[in-house]
Amino acid sequence: MAFNVGFRVRTNQDVQFSQDQSKIAVGHQVFGSVGARLAVWKNKLDIIADGFIAAGVPDQDVQDVPFEVLGGVRAYFPLGFIANVAAGGGVTRGIGAPQFRILWGVGWQFQKGKVPMRSAVNPDPDGDGILLGSDACPLVAEDKDNFEDSDGCPDPDNDKDGILDAADKCPNQPEDKDGFEDTDGCPDKDNDKDGIPDSEDKCPDEPEDKDGFQDADGCPDKDNDKDGIPDAVDKCPNQPEDKDGFQDKDGCPDPDNDKDGIPDVKDKCPNQPEDKDGWQDADGCPDPDNDGDGIPDAKDKCPNQPETKNGYKDDDGCPDQKGPVQIKRNKITAPPVYFATGKARILTKSYATLRLIAKTLLDNKWVKKVRIEGHTDSRGSASYNRRLSQKRVDSVMAFLIQSGVDPTRLEAKGYGEDRPIASNKTRAGRARNRRVEFTILDPAQSQNPSPPTNP
């Protein structure tokens, strides 16, 4: 930018315009001009502007003051040649201010470094060692930090990560802005320092626990087997606890809780070891009383054969081949039951026998149903004998019920003389035919007088 001021001395006179016959007084003047240049393309093209004004002394009408403004461009060519073009006009009608005009011109200037002359212009105003013409920022010194140091401009944030180099620990590497230590200016390729790059790490801010379980995903696995027991206290961190109520806090599955060699999935008693005594050893349950006769195997001389409970050596656990009352196949055998002649009254000498039969039924619950069967000899009419036999078995049934036997386990049937087992022609035969029999009605169990033995 440049400007000048001057004073013009001349005789006062009136100047008349021919167009409208108006007059303007002209005399002494104070004048001034200003010029400006703006480089828009370094050493190639400038924008130029110029203004001129003059005022009469001692005073002059404002409308008569000449005021002109011009604008244009200046182009630079090789070998120092210059071309100017400008246009403009008067803002007022004063003398010296044309309505419009165009100016152009060419010139030449000395080329830098080729003409031995001393310049009054400082070739390095900012003192950064980069001379004018090469310094993009001639008034601001280059920061000389080995980052774009040849352009002459300081770079307060080399990596343009928003963190000034003065506070940036990695001024030439932009911060990755991932919410992890974003104020230090350094990119963090592995935030949690677990050796897995953040680009592959599903949990970039949580270090992988490196326990051999899914270690490539970058996420710590606090409960590998997801059994609800933290790996820190889980004795089997990669095997889920089976949660079956047996040692469920150690984190290890227990496929055979009782360690009897039978897997829990097949073991009917998974928390009680099989006793391995040759009796139902495949079910996994201990059998403290194999034959179910109420006598523990430890005291049972016949652990796989139930005691008959007939009042004869009932504590040894063995079925008795002797004794007044016995269970054989589908029958309960006992001494004869005696009645008064021609009557249904039981003689007292048979009370002991019936009490033993009642005890046998009470002790052998597996016998579900017994039919009391009455028989006679052939003396008398058949209908009479049938009625008599029915009355007699009804008396026996009543005696057993009074002795504690459940009525639902009993039924009575009188057959009269219809089912003889001997000849009615002899006294001995008739005595055998007069009898009371006890038949077990659940033959499936009566084949063996106990629950089924070895399968």
Q: What is the pLDDT of residues 196-212, one digit of tens each?
A: 998 998 999 889 888 88
Q: Is residue 242 part of a domain?
A: no
| End-of-domain residue from the set 108, 134, 163 | 108
Instruction: With cut-offs at 50, 70 and 90, classify the pLDDT of residue 58.
Output: low
Residue 444 has pLDDT above 60, yes or no: no
CB atoms under 10 Å from CB of 443, counted, come to 10
Q: What is the DSSP string of 60-127?
A: --GGGS-EEEEEEEEEE-GGGEEEEEEEEEESS--TT--S-EEEEEEEE-PPTTTS----SS-S-TT-
For the chain, what is the domain count?
A: 2
Q: Give me 196's structure tokens.
A: 């897995």
pLDDT category of residue 142 using cuts at 50, 70 and 90? confident
Q: Is residue 63 part of a domain?
A: yes
In a domain, 62, yes or no: yes
| Segment (H or E) for 23 | strand 23-26
Decide if 403 is inside a domain.
yes
Confidence band of 431 (pLDDT split at 50, 70, 90)? very high
pTM of the predicted protein model: 0.37
pLDDT of residue 331: 94
- CA-CA-CA-CA torsion sign (144, 147, 148, 153): negative
DSSP code, position 132: T
pLDDT tens, 213-225? 988 899 998 889 8
Per the domain annotation, does 173 fall within a domain? Answer: no
Considering the domain boundaries, does residue 332 fall inside one?
yes
Last residue of a domain, one of 108, 143, 175: 108
Cα separation of 333 and 353, whole Å? 10
Q: What pairing do the DSSP bridges indicate for beta strands 101-108 and 370-375?
A: unpaired
Report whether pLDDT(452) > 50.
no
Strand partners, 328: 331
Q: Which residues constitute the domain of residue 438?
A: 326-446
| In-domain check, residue 261 | no
Q: Residue 267 falls within a domain, yes or no?
A: no
Pick from 78, 108, 138: which residue ends a domain?
108
Q: What is the CATH number of the domain that holds 425?
A: 3.30.1330.60
